[in-house]
């Protein structure tokens, strides 16, 4: 199976974790797009969705799925999202799609985080994928130096035209290479306290409850 077919497989499998009659938290990215397309088939059996990005909101609305703002919601039974990396304890690196801050906000509303990913995202130690960090622009040079002190190389994420890519919140992103994230919870807590950091792309405090992993043999369910 191709990587895209594996993503479609786990997107379909995630429907089993959607609670009928309730709202569902919806993440961002290519794997989640497959989930949104599958969710359209049961849109009349859910109360609607809370989305983590403008792109996912547009896709949900195009399917006729009601979208509520996170500020209108006090709790969600489940949040379904992908990952750029996931380790054996459910800790993740996220933010390749630049939606990490809103993803954490929606994940914080949810009782359970269901990660959907293809097998290439499973790693022993986080850090192979560049760690995304949403920052306040004026702090970026200082934060680049702080990451260098940890052994990481942080660069500003740019668009094709060479201009800084901005998140849906209007902030730039740093991508940090060269980190070995052996203690995700501690590193997330440390980086999150640095002045100028909006959100760090380590999801340890908001780790996955389970992961639906797409493999050539089918969907493997990992419970953490």
- Known binding positions for substrate: 28-31, 81-84, 94-97, 121
* Span between the terminal Cα atoms of the chain, in Å: 26
131-135 and 197-200: which strand pairing?
antiparallel
From 85, 103, 134, 188, the catalytic residue = 103
111 is catalytic: no
Closest C-alpha to 155, from 136, 180, 187, 130: 130
DSSP state of 16: G
Polymer length in residues for the chain:
224
- Residue 190: φ, ψ to 5°: -65, -55
CA-to-CA distance for 52 and 95, rounded, in angstroms? Answer: 11
Residues contributing to the annotated binding site:
28-31, 81-84, 94-97, 121
Beta bridge partners of 168: none
Distance CA 9, CA 13 (A): 6
> Is residue 126 classed exposed, middle or buried when 0-12, 13-18 and 19+ CB atoms within 10 A define those classes?
buried
Catalytic residue numbers, as ranges? 103
């Amino acid at each position: 199976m191709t990587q895209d077919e594996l993503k479609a497989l786990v997107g379909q499998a995630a429907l089993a974790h959607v609670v009928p009659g309730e709202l569902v938290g919806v993440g961002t990215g290519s794997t989640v797009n497959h989930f949104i397309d599958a969710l359209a088939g049961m849109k009349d059996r859910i109360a609607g969705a809370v989305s983590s990005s403008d792109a996912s909101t547009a896709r949900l609305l195009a399917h006729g799925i009601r979208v509520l703002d996170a500020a209108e919601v006090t709790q969600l039974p489940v949040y379904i999202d992908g990952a750029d990396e996931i380790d054996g304890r459910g800790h993740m690196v996220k933010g390749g799609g630049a939606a990490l801050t809103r993803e954490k906000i929606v994940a914080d509303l949810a009782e359970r985080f269901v990660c959907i990913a293809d097998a290439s995202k499973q790693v022993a130690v986080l850090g192979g994928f560049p760690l995304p960090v949403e920052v306040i622009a004026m702090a970026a040079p200082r934060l680049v130096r702080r990451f260098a002190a940890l052994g990481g190389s942080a660069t500003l994420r740019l668009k094709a035209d060479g201009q800084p890519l901005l998140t849906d919140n209007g902030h730039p992103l740093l991508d940090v290479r060269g980190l070995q994230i052996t203690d995700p919870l501690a590193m997330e807590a440390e980086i999150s306290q640095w002045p100028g950091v909006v959100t760090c792309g380590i999801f340890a405090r908001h780790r996955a409850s389970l992961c639906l992993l797409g493999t050539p043999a089918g969907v493997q369910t990992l419970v953490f």
